[in-house]
Amino acid sequence: MAPIVEEGKVRIFLEKYHNYRGPGRRQAGFYNPALEIDRDINVAFCTYAAKNGAKRFLDGLAATGIRGIRLAKEVGNIEVEINDYNPKSYELIKKNIELNNVDAIAINENLCVLLQKRRYDYIDIDPYGSPIPFISCLFKALKKRTYLAVTATDTATLCGAYKKACIRKYHSIPLRRMASKEAGLRILLAYIAKQAASFDYGFKPLLSYAWGHFFRVYGIMERGAGRAEESIQNIGWVVWDDGWKFLHFEKIDSKPLAGPMWIGKISEGNVVNAVKEIVEKKEMKRKKELMKLLTFIKEEISLLPLYYETGKVAKDVKVRQPKLQKIIDELQKRGYDAGRTHFMLNAVKTNAPYSVIKEIFV
């Protein structure tokens, strides 16, 4: 008999149980228990989206169907379609819908084909690897306003381990020296925004984060050439000039270090607050960990893009690494913005010049 696991308010049958944290190998009925916290965020964000008018939800690459089934069970009063191209996954999704007695539709279709047939208020693209093949066929499925959730697990490419692959696939030079995680997420955001603009849609990130071995982005697509123009104003280049500097396309007067990438906000404070309030009211096993992540995300919204890894700064100036809070306190004492980041525990976000950061270490 197939094993059953419980998560949130649902129970699901599995084909194979993966009890590890990491990207894993995608199989029919793939399920990673370590990502429960990510699916908790998904439930909270979709509750927010439903409160703001979203009615028709698509889980496009569903595997076991757990994301969509949790939405049908825990958000309520929405239409949920759960799709997977793999016939074994499709059969498993049908079994799991029946097991949980939820009102959801199972679909066995190539996602790009499905996206040409129907329109949705919320589309979730959660592939194994890069989301690029699915983003390019997304736009016929959009309404005037559609919420979009995208996962990328090809973080080695986005974070610069495979520079040529990043240039080839995302049309962007990745950052490897420092802050590669955040830069990788921003490259993904820029790619989505550029694709959207070519179809006269503006893209706005509402909640974005790195967790484990993947990036996750929640945003909204809004139709209109003006929206598209507004969106691409947030795309630019990174240069190094005694610290991180961010330049728009038309202002490049020195060789860029990385980009193009998203240089605007990657999350919206009001949305993060709304998601936090929803999480507070729900029963979730890892609520404390989830609230900590959302608090980090909220606090860093007001800080400049990218961060400085304290271990690398210490190595640069050949001293022992000070405590992170001491660095932050000293930067703030000198009148600079400074804070932590969810991307890396031993890193600081600040608008201080790099020379000032090094002074504090010495």
Full residue range of the structural domain in which residue 241 is found: 4-274
Total domain count, the chain: 2
Q: Please tell me whether residues 229 and 311 are part of one structural domain.
A: no
Instruction: Tell me how long the chain is.
Output: 362
Q: Tell me whether residue 284 is in a domain.
A: no
Q: Please tell me whether residues 212 and 322 are part of one structural domain.
A: no
Average pLDDT over residues 312-320: 94
Q: Please tell me whether residues 258 and 319 are part of one structural domain.
A: no
The two three-digit tokens of residue 259, written as one number: 């980009």
pLDDT digits (tens, 9 = 90+) for 136-149: 999 999 999 999 99
pLDDT-derived band at 49 (thresholds 50, 70, 90) equals very high
- Residue of 201, 196, 249, 258 lying closest to 225 (CA atoms): 201
Do β-strands 308-309 and 344-350 pair in parallel, antiparallel, or remain unpaired?
Answer: antiparallel
Backbone angles phi, psi at 348, to 5 degrees: -130, 140
Q: CATH no. for residue 312?
A: 3.30.56.70
Average pLDDT over residues 157-176: 97
Q: Tell me whether residue 279 is in a domain.
A: no
Q: Tell me whether residue 285 is in a domain.
A: no
User: What secondary structure letter does DSSP report for 33?
Assistant: G
Q: Which of 43-57, 78-92, 253-267 has the lowest mean pLDDT?
A: 253-267
Q: Tell me whether residue 297 is in a domain.
A: no
Q: Tell me whether residue 286 is in a domain.
A: no
Whether the model clears a pTM of 0.85, i.e. scores above it, the answer is: yes
Average pLDDT over residues 299-310: 96
Q: Tell me whether residue 16 is in a domain.
A: yes
pLDDT number for residue 2: 72
Q: Please tell me whether residues 91 and 240 are part of one structural domain.
A: yes
pLDDT digits (tens, 9 = 90+) for 109-125: 999 999 999 999 999 99
pLDDT number for residue 195: 98
- Give the residue from 252, 274, 296 where a domain finishes: 274
Helices 287-300, 269-281: inter-axial angle, 10-degree rounding: 170
d(C-alpha 61, C-alpha 58), whole Å: 9
| Residue 354, pLDDT above cutoff 60 | yes
213-247: string of b/e by CB count within 10 Å (b at 16+)?
Answer: bbbbbbbbbbbeeebbebbbebbbbbbbeebbbbb
User: What secondary structure letter does DSSP report for 52?
Assistant: T
Q: Please tell me whether residues 140 and 92 are part of one structural domain.
A: yes
Average pLDDT over residues 261-288: 97
d(C-alpha 81, C-alpha 15), whole Å: 21
Q: Please tell me whether residues 79 and 125 are part of one structural domain.
A: yes
Q: Please tell me whether residues 127 and 181 are part of one structural domain.
A: yes
Q: Please tell me whether residues 190 and 335 are part of one structural domain.
A: no
